[in-house]
Amino acid sequence: MATRELTPQDFETLLEFSKTLAQTAGKIIVEGSNAILNQDQGNVDEKKNSVDLVTQWDVKVEEHVKSEVAKTWPDFHFIGEETFSSGSEKPSLTDAPTFCVDPIDGTTNFVHGFPYACISIGMFYKKQPLLGVIYNPFLNEMYYGLKGSGSYVSFPYLDKPLRLPIASQRSLPSLSQALIGVEWGSDRRLSVMQQKATSFLRLAGDKDEIPNARMAHSLRSLGSAALNYGQIARGGLDIYWEVGCWPWDVCAGIVIALEAGCYVTGSKNFFKAHRHEEPTLMTDWTELIWGRKYIVIRGIADTPSEKGRDAQRRLVQDFYDSVEEWDAI
């Protein structure tokens, strides 16, 4: 079957559809949170271990999204976290329009009533990220973006959405001035925990006492990859790095970040091989998106001596010089 050709008007329609869908899904997420916290219903199950959680509400939200997509765009492909987790084979990126959805990103936060959980709706088209919507229904905060059209954030107290980043791009001379997003993740093997701890120690530790330390301003863990991307796009975080995420965690965030002037890349080897390529011009994201190793850095202002993009690449290199890397499972 020939790939459906989408028009710019289709892109706009899809973005509005995704925004509305995120809001209706958000109502289910809030309903589920209330049910779990009131212990009326909502069993919490485990995937690979006791910290990799899934609830019946993850499944309900994904079923709702998948159903709405099928009714409106029946010929589109669909990649969902819970569909994949239930035993589906790893899907390949094709030229076909493909929704890529995490129904509840930040399930641990969701279970505990910590209000940093969201739905993440992304789309690939011709093997490239096309659009993204990230909606946190607990704070009524939405990030969204469309390739070539910018990215935005909306809050309840704003008259209209703000284009990202929400303030002028700033310089970032070194990692020592950075606020860095990291996560402990669900892979708690001893070897991995030791490498994570070593990496975090080097990023935050005193340069006078710890070899290879950068002594960043601080480290932050929101517990949601998608919301970390949102914070990078708006300029609240300077860098976010994680090993072990999946395409549905980052697809929407990648679009939103790139449209805000951020730099996105993959593993150490991927960055080394593609360092001088412009991410917004990549024609096939398969290797990066399924590599499960991601780093994103906020937009940086040009200075008389260095372009912002060059500064981003320099800082990613310095970051990777300071941290460990391991294989995700």
1-45 tens-digit pLDDT: 567 899 999 999 999 999 999 999 999 999 999 988 887 444 655
Q: Is-catalytic flag, 95?
A: no
Helix (H) or strand (E) holding 201: helix 190-204
Q: How is residue 82 written in tokens?
A: 């819970």
Catalytic residue among 187, 238, 242, 249: 249
Q: Is-catalytic flag, 321?
A: no
52 annotated to a ligand binding site: no
- pTM score of the predicted model: 0.94
58 annotated to a ligand binding site: no
Q: Is-catalytic flag, 102?
A: yes
206 annotated to a ligand binding site: no
For residue 287, the model assigns a pLDDT of: 96
Instruction: Locate CATH 3.40.190.80 in the chain.
Output: 175-322
Which residues have C-beta within 8 Å of that of residue 167, sequence separation ≥ 6?
Answer: 235
Q: Is-catalytic flag, 58?
A: no
Give the rounded percent of residues in the chain with a pLDDT score beyond 70.
94
* Mean pLDDT, the chain, whole residue set: 93
232 annotated to a ligand binding site: no
Catalytic residue among 55, 83, 98, 107: 107
277 annotated to a ligand binding site: no
164-173 tens-digit pLDDT: 999 999 999 9
Helix-, strand-, coil-residue percentages of the chain, each rounded to 5:
40, 20, 40
Residue 46 pLDDT grade (very low, low, confident, very high; cuts 50, 70, 90) = very low
For residue 329, the model assigns a pLDDT of: 84
> What CATH number does the domain located at 8-163 have?
3.30.540.10
Pick among 3.40.190.80, 3.40.50.1100, 1.10.3720.10, 3.90.170.10: CATH of 175-322: 3.40.190.80
Instruction: Locate CATH 3.30.540.10 in the chain.
Output: 8-163
